[in-house]
Amino acid sequence: MNAKALVAGGVLLRRVKAESDKRLEAAAEQLHLTVENEKLKKEIAVLQALDDLRKKQNEELEERARRHDTVVSEMQKELDSKEATIEGLRQEIVKSVDNAKKAESLAVQLSGECSKKDQLIEKLQEEARENTQLLSEATEEIVEKSSEIYEAYRDALATFGAEPNLC
């Protein structure tokens, strides 16, 4: 019986040891899972903090984007205004260039007309000189003929014994 008791005690001891090993493994596993669970809780807290930080940064970026959109919109309005001003100035320059071309064309035309009138003036001056010379020659001839007529008149009166009356 001792041998049986010894064998039974050995079997029991092995069972107890096996069960103890299983409990120890289970406890070690539970401890490992508890440690892992705590570690995961810490990671979740860190991830939650990162998510909160990401949300805050996204909100800040969205606000900055809205401000930039406002600035871009204002700059676009200013750019459109400046482009309208530039277009107006361009149109004024085109008008000015057209007016300058018309003025240049008119100046050329007037220059041609002035040249013709200058030639006409020169021709009229030449005619006036010729007329003046003709008039001068005619006057001299008239004076000469008048003197001859006066002499003939005076001679004719002298034949009768009279003298011309100078009034």
Q: What is the mean pLDDT of residues 90-98?
A: 93
Q: Residues 6 or more apart from 39 whose CB is under 8 A from it?
A: none
Q: What is the pLDDT of residue 167?
A: 60
Contact 164, 157 (CB under 8 A): yes
Ramachandran class of 37: left when φ > 0, alpha when ψ lies in -120 to 50, beta otherwise: alpha
Does residue 162 register a pLDDT over 90? no
Specify the pTM. Answer: 0.42
Q: What is the mean pLDDT of residues 105-122?
A: 91
Does residue 24 register a pLDDT over 90? no
Cα 82–Cα 83–Cα 89 angle in degrees, nearest 5: 90
Q: What is the pLDDT of residue 10?
A: 79
Q: What is the pLDDT of residue 67?
A: 95
Give the total residue count for the chain: 167
Q: What is the mean pLDDT of residues 26-41?
A: 92
Q: What is the mean pLDDT of residues 18-42?
A: 90
Q: What is the pLDDT of residue 70?
A: 95
Q: pLDDT tens digits, residue range 66-86?
A: 999 999 999 999 999 999 999
User: Which segments of the chain does DSSP mark as H helices, in order?
Assistant: 2-160
